Amino acid sequence: MEKRELKNLLYEQVARIGKALASPKRLEMLEVLAQGEKTVETLSAELSIDVKLASAHLKALREARLVDSRRDGKYIHYRLSGPDVATLWVTLREVAEEHLLELRMAVDRMISQPEKLSSVDGAALMDQARRGDVIVIDVRPLQEYEAGHLPFARSMPVGELQQRLAELPRRRAIVAYCRGPFCMLSDEALKLLRARGYKASKILTGVSEWQAAGLPLAK
């Protein structure tokens, strides 16, 4: 094989990853799968698309070796092929935020009330949670929490929060998190907590961003 043919082959293989990521729904699928295994039916509901289209997106991700699967009875469970795939999503999003004004403006609209954000960094937050100075709550579904969560965080899915408010001490600050900067579950939690008189804020970090920063997860 001549040098030019070899170089073409090399770039062509790397381009397979770019082609697989060239879909908004497949990017969202990677973010959801970074939280833990999902069936195609669950992904279909999460992404608000039909099962047939969700299967087609999963096929594209599998062909690029970004997603693996396993069968459990009549259901097939999908997962990322490695933690580096979750880091790839975080890196891609951060590059987009750095260079695309339109994306920065959209993100700014999501965080139009900066007082809702906790400014503490990850290591400091972990220390505060360890001491009990703050209560960190994970408002994702329980299955995602069990797959991996921030150390010292409590599982309080947003759908259960109303019924479990008595578990949260009113005199301590509450910090909520969900799947990452594009996730709005923590906003729902803040709205409820603040309406009930809690001092609550959120962090934009999810488990993928936490791991990408070199911080440990708990299971």
CB-CB contact of 173 with 201 (8 Å)? yes
Neighbours of 212 (CB within 10 A): 19
Q: Which of 147, 144, 122 is nearest to 204 (CA)?
A: 122
- Please pick, among 66, 178, 203, 212, the residue that the annotation labels catalytic: 178
| 140-149 LR contacts (CB < 8 Å, sep 24+) | 140/35, 140/178, 140/179, 140/185, 143/36, 144/35, 144/36, 144/179, 146/36, 146/219, 147/35, 147/36, 147/37, 147/219, 148/35, 148/36, 148/207, 148/217, 148/218, 148/219, 149/207, 149/217, 149/218, 149/219
User: Does 183 participate in catalysis according to the annotation?
Assistant: no
Angstrom CA distances, 141 to 45, 179, 196, stand at: 14, 10, 22
Catalytic residue set: 178
